[in-house]
Chain A
Amino acid sequence: MKRLSRYRRHKAAGPALLIFALLAIGTTFSVASATVKASPTSFARSAVIDEGKQIFLKGCSSCHGLNAEGGAVAPSLIGVGAASVDFQVGTGRMPMADMSQQAMRKKPVYNAEETAALAAYVASLAPGPAIPDDSVLNYERDGNTAQGGELFRNNCAMCHNFAGQGGALTQGKYAPTLMGVEPKYIYEALITGPQSMPVFSDKTITPAEKLSLIKWIKAAEAEPNLGGATMGRIGPVTEGLLAWVLGIGLLIGIAVWLTTRAR
Chain B
Amino acid sequence: MTPVEKTIGNAANFVDERLGAAGWVKKSLNKVFPDHWSFMLGEVCMYSFVILLLSGTFLTFWFDPSQRDVIYNGVYEPLKGLKMSAAYASTLDISFEVRGGLLMRQIHHWAANIFMAAIVAHLLRVFFTGAFRKPREFNWILGILLLTLGLVEGLFGYSLPDDLLSGTGLRITSAIIQALPVVGTYISFFLFGGAFPGTGFIPRIFTLHILIIPGIFLAVITIHVMLVWYQKHTQFPGVGRTEKNVVGHPILPVYMAKAGGFFFVVFGVIAFLSAVASINPIWLYGPYTPGQISAGSQPDWYMGWLDGLVRMAPPLETHAFGHTISWNILIPALIVPGILFTGMALYPFIESWITGDKREHHLLDRPRNVPNRTALGVMSITFVMVALINGGNDILATNFHLSINQIMWFSRIGIFVLPPIAFVITKRLCLSLQRADRDLLLHGSETGRLLRLPHGEFVEVHEPISAEKAFLLQSHEEPIALELSEVDSRGVRRPGALKNKVQRRLSKAHAVSVPKVSEQELKEIEHH
- A residues sitting closer than 8 Å to B (CB atoms) are 1, 4-5, 8, 145-146, 149-150, 153-154, 157-163, 166-172, 174-175, 216, 219-220, 223, 225-244, 246-248, 250-252, 254-256, 258-259
Contact = CB atoms under 8 A, between A and B. Distances in A.
A162 B398 contact: no
8 contacts: A8-B403, A171-B405, A216-B78, A235-B296, A237-B395, A248-B44, A256-B37, A258-B262
Contact of B273 (A150, A168, A247): A247
B418 interface: no
A162 B113 contact: no
Nearest to B79: A146
B301 interface: yes
Contact of A161 (B109, B295, B404): B295
B269 A251 contact: yes
Interface in B33-70: 35-41, 44
A240 B301 contact: yes
Given A170-B404, A223-B78, A240-B302, 6 more contacts: A172-B401, A237-B298, A251-B44, A251-B114, A255-B38, A258-B40
Interface string B65-84: 00000000000011111100
Nearest to B401: A5
A242 B110 CA distance: 9
Contact of B281 (A230, A237, A247): A230
B296 A8 contact: no
Nearest to A219: B78
Nearest to A215: B78
A237 B110 CA distance: 13
Contact of B286 (A1, A149, A168, A241): A149
Contact of B82 (A149, A157, A244): A149
Contacts of A171: 403-405
A227 B279 contact: yes
A225 B400 CA distance: 24
The 3 tightest CB contacts between A and B, nearest first, are: A240-B301, A167-B295, A172-B403
B449 interface: no
Interface of A is mostly: helix
User: Interface size bucket, B side?
Assistant: 35 or more
Contact of B397 (A150, A172, A239, A247): A172
A4 B402 CA distance: 8
A150 B82 contact: yes
A236 B401 contact: no
B40 A255 contact: yes
Contacts of A153: 164, 286, 289, 292, 294
B348 to A, nearest CB: 25
A56 to B, nearest CB: 31
B269 A250 contact: yes
B77 A219 contact: yes
A247 B114 contact: yes
Contact of A237 (B117, B277, B292, B301): B301
Contacts of A167: 294-296, 394, 398
Contacts of B301: 236-237, 239-241, 243-244
Contacts of A258: 37, 40, 258, 261-262
B293 A158 contact: yes
Interface in B298-324: 298-302, 304
Nearest to A242: B277
B398 A168 contact: yes
B44 A228 contact: no
B121 A160 contact: no
Nearest to A257: B37
Contacts of A172: 397, 401-406
B333 interface: no
Nearest to A256: B37
Contacts of B269: 247, 250-251, 254
Interface string B230-273: 00000000000000000000000000001001100110011001
Contacts of A239: 109, 113, 277, 279-280, 300-301
A161 B281 CA distance: 13
Contacts of B397: 168, 172, 174
Contact of A236 (B117, B266, B304): B304
A171 B397 CA distance: 10
B327 to A, nearest CB: 24
Given A168-B397, A220-B284, A239-B113, A157 B294 contact: yes
B297 A235 contact: yes
A251 B102 contact: no
B40 A233 contact: no
B295 A248 contact: no
A244 B275 contact: no
B292 A226 contact: no
Interface string B389-412: 000111101111111111000000
Contacts of A161: 294-296
Contact of B266 (A1, A146, A220, A251): A251
B188 interface: no
Nearest to B36: A259
Nearest to A149: B78
